[in-house]
Structure 1
Amino acid sequence: MKNKTIATWLTFWTGPMGLHRFYLYGFSDMQGWLLPVPTALGVYGLERVQQFGQDDTLSWILIPLLGFTIAGCALNAIVYGLTSAEKWNTKFNPKGDELNPAGSTHWGTVIGVAIALMLGTTVLMASLVFSFQRFFEYQIEAARLISQ
């Protein structure tokens, strides 16, 4: 039986590595195998900023991949946590009863949803701000080059 609280916390903490997909869908899930790719690219972008500074163009393209992946996994944790017990058990526990306790919501689920909401929106806003700031700085530099 797949537990909704465990799935919510796994999605929030290990989502960017795809481990929650393996818990819910098994090792044949392609999205679970592909989720570490944007995560690794984003981490590589962070390493490039530490090595080359903030003006590295490739890093400001790669860093938001990590942020958007984390934010997407936090959103997924919220969706899992807010799914009704009937829908959860129908989708992930089809052999069990529709009102199986594995699909019910507990305080652990509620706390997981609240933390995913707080940290997910923070990471999403930071990624958007970073992306827009770098985009407009790039546009200003391009305009300066054209005007000279």
Structure 2
Amino acid sequence: MIVGIGTDICDVRRIEASLERHGERFAHKVLSEAELAQWQRRSARWPQRGVRYLATRFSAKEAFSKAIGLGMRMPMTWRSCEIANLSSGAPVIVLHGPLKEWFESRGYRAHISVTDETDYAASFCVVESVDQ
């Protein structure tokens, strides 16, 4: 049974402006350790690719927070929600700490889709209950 749907669109230029204004502090606030390492690798090769990576993660976490109905309130935090990729490239949500415990205690499963184009990143998330 579907318990929530969330979507988000993010202006990549807004993320770029935040990086210019706040430097890496912005990325450290939004990204998990694994995401941060990936962002740094992508940014080193092609800075714009790093900005788009950060924008897709920002957008996906916003969509997930909407789908679970919490927004950015505890136990939902930027760094406790990680957007990883399967070997196929498909994005998956990996949760940590109290958010993981909260989510699993409800018997939820999440599905996430992310995309980006030059100026925009968009995400769509569906959360379902698997204990029905």
User: TM-score surpassing 0.5?
Assistant: no
Structure (1/2) with the larger helix percentage: 1
User: Comparing both structures, which one devotes a greater share of its residues to strand?
Assistant: 2
**TM-score, scaled to structure 1:** 0.26
Q: Which has the larger radius of gyration?
A: 1
